[in-house]
Amino acid sequence: MENQERREKILEMLKEATKPVTGTEMAQACQVSRQIIVGDIALLRASGTPVMSTPRGYQLQKNQIDGVQESFLCKHGPEQVEAELNAIVDNGGLVHNVVVEHEVYGFLEGELNLKSRRDVQLYLKKMRAARAPLLSSMSAGVHTHLVETSTPEEMEAVRKALEQLGVLVEDKK
């Protein structure tokens, strides 16, 4: 299978999928390694295809037209990551990303796309397995999350939950 043909097959798999598709599933369907698929996904993104990574696999990004989005500035140590993310998803929030500001590299973003406690658990499991440091470890625990909810009331519930945890520094509008 040629490169372009393979990327078209990947795109078709993503369009037809009703749930995220893992890199391994794509690799098996295309008879290549998972690393080749990772490269293909990067090329699809570079060409403007809205492919997002989730803890369960890849999917096409769907715009939620009626959704509410807000960035929250937070600060805490690694021991509060799970509580922070669960507070967001438990109140109807989708955690799109985590962003930190680095003194040399500028803004660094990690795509999260967490919408449930299960997603949070999968993310934390992958981080532990990879022994990967949190992006916020480069910024003394300071980071932002872009959060999306269906309603302003859900967004307010997310804000209150973060305030109660004591991790909210200030909310950015």
One domain, residues 52 and 100: no
pLDDT for the residue numbered 173: 42
One domain, residues 23 and 52: yes
One domain, residues 105 and 27: no
Q: Is the pLDDT of residue 171 over 60?
A: no
pLDDT for the residue numbered 170: 63
One domain, residues 154 and 133: yes
Q: How many domains in the chain? A: 2
| pTM across the whole model | 0.68
Mean pLDDT, the chain, whole residue set: 90
CATH number at residue 117: 3.30.1340.20
DSSP for 109-167, written as a single string = EEEEEE-SHHHHHHHHHHHHHHTPPPGGGGTTTEEEEEEEESSHHHHHHHHHHHHHHT-
One domain, residues 78 and 146: yes
One domain, residues 52 and 79: no
Domain that holds residue 14: 3-60
pLDDT for the residue numbered 63: 56
End position of a domain, from candidates 60, 81, 102? 60
One domain, residues 41 and 123: no
Question: Rg of the Cα trace of the chain?
Answer: 17
pLDDT for the residue numbered 139: 93
One domain, residues 95 and 136: yes
